[in-house]
Structure 1
Amino acid sequence: MKSSDARPELWSIGEMARRFGLETHVLRHWEDVGLLSPHRDAAGRRRYDRDDLVRIAVVLRSKAAGMSLQHIVVLLDAGAADRHRVLEAHLADLDRRMEEMRRSRAMTDHALRCRAHDIATCPRFQEGVADLVAGRTPAPWS
């Protein structure tokens, strides 16, 4: 059989869920919110192709980067008018989170080497939280 005659590989919902370590209900939910639209076979069963496989990988990577499903829907919609706004907001959020991680790492590194038994009493450690103490930085968890 020539490769041009070959059928594309199709996977069931169970196979796709196992491949990514997901529960099948997650894929059904992603379909409900518009992230996936798998083909259906004659019996109405979902059949996922390579494009679906890539979309699921994009959704997982985007979720790992902190995007909400609503934002991912916009990201994957080529015609979405506010796509760039969502992406710019996400980049700003990533920058904020990366700065918070940098600070946290520096503070943890200092705490590891600090001789103070209670690091909150260490003047250098206190410098790392001075902005929060002074109310100059909104808390990232708020």
Structure 2
Amino acid sequence: MKSSDTAAGKCGPGDGAARADEAPAARGETMTIGEFADRFGMATHVLRHWESVGLLAPERDHSGHRRYRPDDLARVAMILIAKDAGLELGQVREVFSTADPMDHADLLRDHIAELERRIARAQAARDLIEHALQCPFPFEQCPRAHAAIAARIPPHRTAG
């Protein structure tokens, strides 16, 4: 498989997950919430919130303190990947509610459509700013600026 295949999202035989380093959770030890949060460079309140919305379920020790296990590392990494992909926590919870994310293919397809809309808006904004940087006219005289402004004004609606 070419490295470009991986970047394009294609998987094949022989693809393997990268292993977490061997300290301490990879050896089967548990971590406190502070140790676990530090591992990811996040605040402990984030982990508590994710627990409150059903994304995490850390074990509790005899004193009731949270203890995070090695499999929690992968769970948090998957949550972060999903958030990086733009999913909201409720969507992440739904996708993670079954073993196979493809059980939620409609949600994922809808999200791709939303990402495409965001990309189009961002590209249009970039194009407008690039034009503004190169336009020989002052803003108030620029035909493209006038067109963009006109496009943002809603049509007149009659009461009815």
Instruction: Tell me the TM-score normalized by structure 1.
Output: 0.74
Partner residue, 1:100: 121
**Deviation beyond 3 Å, 4+ runs, structure 1:** 79-82, 125-135
Maintained 8 Å contact 1:39/1:46? yes
- 1:23 matched to which residue of 2? 43
- Shift in Å, 1:21: 2.9
* Distance in 2, Cα, partners of 1:81 & 1:20: 27
Aligned length in residues: 129
Q: Runs of 5+ in structure 1 lacking a partner?
A: 1-5, 136-142
* Counterparts of 2:97 and 2:47, CA distance in 1: 18
Deviates more, 1:35-44 or 1:99-108: 35-44
Q: CA deviation at 1:76?
A: 1.2
2:88 equivalent in structure 1:
68
CA distance change for structure 1 residues 109 and 58 in 2, over 3 Å: closer, same or farther? same
Name the CA distance, whole Å, in 1 between partners of 2:146 and 2:78. Answer: 40
The TM-score, its normalising length taken from structure 2, stands at 0.67
Quote the Cα distance in structure 2 between the aligned partners of 1:10 and 1:115. Answer: 63
Residues 68-97 of structure 1: CA distance to partner in whole angstroms, max 9, x if unpaired?
Answer: 211110111116897222212211111100
